[in-house]
């Protein structure tokens, strides 16, 4: 068994489908429109440049990857636009053979030149283009395309994450000619080789797609899809407007749907590899004093408090940046030695008050930027503010719709903000990437530079021994916890509501992946 899958099994993340996911019939039926809801707006059409599920749940269906995970047999990797590949004995050279006959939705043939342009865009974006995950490619020395159907990657050093890098769901293959257009053409345009073609977007209403008849696989059964912009989940599901919502329902919402819909609805459930956190802005003067940052994390009751919170919303028990119980995570006993994780909340808060007094910031007032999405944002916000007030702090919450909230976060217009780090494998390269310097990873919304962590992270990524890799991950995690710019809470507990007649869906460890609707069909 794959060592990553072993770690998932150990923590209970690989959940048997019986009782959670409806049985999949043997013979898929072709036809029908899959209508689903998305609560978040779409800040950009650019799949490579987004971390928002508002983008991912709408646009993944339009694109292909170089290779992809086999979601029926995760974490096995299978080809997508690449039909085969070879890895050199020293693991420094990956050679991919590209399928012939693939066409973009506008009719342009796909070649290795498009793959090359796509990965160069990810690694070294031009001015005006955002690549949030460019740090993943620091170990890549060069991409090349020696002929029309060969793509070669040369690493400068061993890279522990290996082939998983190329199955990352954000790494969409774009057309070279579109990449070369002025500005960021992909911000408001779609042209991929994926299973569904873009038809129209009515802002605030719906996103429409239809099956791409020239798609390079034969497992697309739906005639099309419509993603409706929704405010809540229960009423659109009960009223029949939507067939599913692919992010998650909360425990109270699930109970309502079960009571109202009975066996017409099923729930696909797995803990998700996205950690919730509070991020502090380095531009806010009081936070430039580490004592103040540490005080804020000490105020949080990560034991009884988080245990109570996960009963009412989509969060889990306490965790560090690495998901508890997985292969590279620290034990609870080791984590409890880190600041803010001791079970003695009275002692933690006493220390927090002492630090605030020493720093001259007793009764500090600061803004907390929240996202106007009910679960878990509202519940987490209430919980945080209550915890901080118990230390004499004076947080003021500012709530905005998703698009504005994300703009505020990316531009640094906050003091503290709700934040997250989404992964699709429990691997430290993904789970610790966010905490590199902002100049390396723009998803570091604390806007801090830390060359020491950058060097530790790069050294870790070259370590091929899992035992040594775990020790290096713990060293980075503890350093970031001590710096206290990012305060981890719990992970995302996911429950996807879906009409029982929808077949062929395989839930993943992140709502950022497997949103291309391949293999799904409607059993009418």
CA distance linking residue 431 with residue 273, whole number of Å: 9
- Which tokens sit at 359? 């720093």
pLDDT at 397: 98
493: β partners: 271
C-alpha angle 192-195-198 in degrees, rounded to nearest 5: 55
Bond into 75 cis (ω within 30): yes
| Domain-located, residue 93 | no
CA distance linking residue 96 with residue 98, whole number of Å: 6
| Domain-located, residue 351 | yes
Residue 3 has pLDDT above 80, yes or no: no
Of 43-47, 111-115, 258-262, 268-272, the poorest mean pLDDT is in: 268-272
pLDDT at 403: 86
Give CA separation, 90 vs 162, 350, 357, 445, 507, in Å: 12, 54, 55, 36, 35
**Contact indicator for 252, 244 with CB cutoff of 8 Å:** no
Q: What is the mean pLDDT of the chain?
A: 93
- DSSP, collapsed to helix, strand or coil, labels residue 62 as helix
* φ, ψ of residue 433 in degrees (nearest 5): -60, -35
Among 306, 380, 327, which residue's Cα sits nearest to residue 13?
327
pLDDT for 216-234, tens place per residue? 999 999 999 999 999 999 9
| Domain-located, residue 203 | no
CA distance linking residue 309 with residue 316, whole number of Å: 8
pLDDT for 155-214, tens place per residue? 999 998 999 999 999 999 999 999 999 999 999 999 999 999 999 999 999 999 999 999
DSSP string, 213-269: TT-SSS----SEEEEEE-S-SHHHHHHTS-SEESS---HHHHHHHHHHHGGGEEEEE
Give the contacts of 235 (CB within 8 A, at least 6 positions apart). Answer: none
| Domain-located, residue 465 | no
pLDDT for 293-351, tens place per residue? 999 999 999 999 999 998 899 899 999 999 898 899 999 999 999 999 999 999 999 99
**Start-to-end CA span in the chain (Å):** 37
What is the residue range of 13's domain? 1-30+263-426+485-524
Average pLDDT over residues 72-81: 93
CA distance linking residue 54 with residue 56, whole number of Å: 6
Give the contacts of 343 (CB within 8 A, at least 6 positions apart). Answer: 303, 336
| Domain-located, residue 71 | no
pLDDT at 142: 97
- DSSP, collapsed to helix, strand or coil, labels residue 34 as strand
Residue 16 has pLDDT above 90, yes or no: no
How does residue 375 score in pLDDT terms, banded at 50, 70 and 90?
confident
Average pLDDT over residues 490-502: 94
pLDDT at 514: 94
Give the domain CATH number at 289. 3.10.105
pLDDT at 22: 41
pLDDT for 252-273, tens place per residue? 999 999 999 999 999 999 878 8
CA distance linking residue 348 with residue 520, whole number of Å: 50
Number of domains into which the chain is organized = 1
Give CA separation, 38 vs 180, 237, 240, in Å: 31, 12, 15
| Domain-located, residue 96 | no
- Indicate the pTM of the whole model: 0.80
Average pLDDT over residues 416-429: 92
**Contact indicator for 251, 313 with CB cutoff of 8 Å:** yes
pLDDT for 424-452, tens place per residue? 888 999 999 999 999 999 999 999 999 99
**Contact indicator for 238, 381 with CB cutoff of 8 Å:** no
pLDDT at 271: 78
pLDDT at 272: 84
Average pLDDT over residues 267-294: 95
How does residue 24 score in pLDDT terms, banded at 50, 70 and 90?
very low
| Domain-located, residue 283 | yes
Give the contacts of 462 (CB within 8 A, at least 6 positions apart). Answer: 139, 157, 158, 159, 160
| Domain-located, residue 379 | yes
Percentage, residues of the chain above pLDDT 70:
95
**Contact indicator for 57, 246 with CB cutoff of 8 Å:** yes
């Amino acid at each position: 068994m794959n060592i990553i899958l072993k770690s998932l099994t150990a923590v209970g993340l690989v959940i048997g489908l019986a009782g959670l996911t409806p049985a999949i019939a043997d013979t898929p039926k072709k036809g029908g429109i899959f209508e689903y809801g998305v609560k978040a707006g779409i800040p950009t059409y650019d799949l490579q440049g987004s971390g928002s599920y508002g983008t991912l749940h709408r646009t993944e269906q339009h694109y292909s990857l170089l290779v992809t995970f086999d979601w029926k047999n995760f974490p096995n990797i299978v080809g997508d636009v690449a039909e085969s590949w070879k890895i050199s004995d020293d693991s420094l050279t990956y050679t991919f053979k590209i399928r012939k006959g693939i066409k973009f939705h506008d009719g342009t043939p796909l070649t290795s030149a498009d793959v090359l342009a796509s990965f160069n865009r990810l690694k070294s974006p031009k001015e005006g283009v955002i690549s949030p995950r460019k740090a993943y490619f620091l170990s890549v020395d060069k991409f090349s395309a020696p002929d029309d159907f060969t793509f070669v990657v040369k690493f400068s050093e061993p890279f522990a994450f290996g082939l998983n890098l190329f199955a990352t769901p954000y790494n969409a293959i774009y057309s070279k000619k579109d990449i070369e257009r002025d500005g960021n053409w992909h911000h408001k345009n779609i042209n991929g080789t994926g299973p569904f073609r873009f038809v129209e977007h009515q802002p605030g209403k719906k996103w429409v797609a239809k099956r791409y008849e020239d798609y390079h696989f034969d497992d697309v059964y739906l005639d099309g899809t419509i993603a409706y912009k929704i405010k809540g989940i229960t009423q659109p599901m009960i009223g029949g407007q939507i067939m599913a919502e692919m992010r998650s329902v909360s425990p109270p919402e699930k109970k309502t749907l079960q009571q109202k819909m009975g066996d017409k609805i099923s729930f696909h459930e797995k803990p998700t590899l996205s950690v919730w956190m509070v991020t502090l802005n380095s531009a806010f003067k009081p936070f430039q004093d580490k004592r103040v940052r540490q005080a804020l994390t000490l105020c949080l009751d990560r034991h009884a408090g988080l245990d109570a919170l996960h009963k009412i919303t989509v969060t889990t028990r306490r965790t560090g940046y690495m998901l508890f119980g997985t292969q590279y995570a620290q034990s609870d006993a080791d984590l409890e030695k880190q600041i803010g994780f001791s079970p003695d909340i009275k002692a933690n808060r006493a220390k927090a008050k002492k630090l605030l007094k020493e720093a001259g910031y007793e009764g500090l007032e600061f803004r907390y930027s929240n996202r106007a999405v009910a679960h878990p944002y509202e519940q987490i916000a209430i919980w945080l503010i209550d915890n901080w007030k118990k230390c004499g702090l004076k947080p003021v919450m500012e709530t905005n719709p998703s698009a504005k909230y994300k703009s505020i976060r990316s531009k640094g217009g906050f003091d503290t903000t709700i934040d997250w780090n989404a992964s699709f494998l429990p691997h430290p390269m993904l789970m610790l990437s966010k905490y590199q310097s902002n100049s390396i990873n723009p998803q570091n919304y604390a806007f801090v530079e830390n060359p020491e962590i950058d060097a530790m992270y790069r050294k870790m990524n070259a370590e091929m021994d899992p035992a040594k890799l775990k020790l290096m991950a713990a060293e980075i995690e503890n350093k970031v916890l001590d710096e206290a710019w990012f305060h981890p809470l719990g992970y995302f507990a996911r429950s996807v509501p879906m009409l029982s007649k929808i077949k062929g869906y395989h839930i993943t460890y992140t709502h950022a992946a497997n949103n291309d609707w391949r293999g799904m069909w409607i059993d009418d």
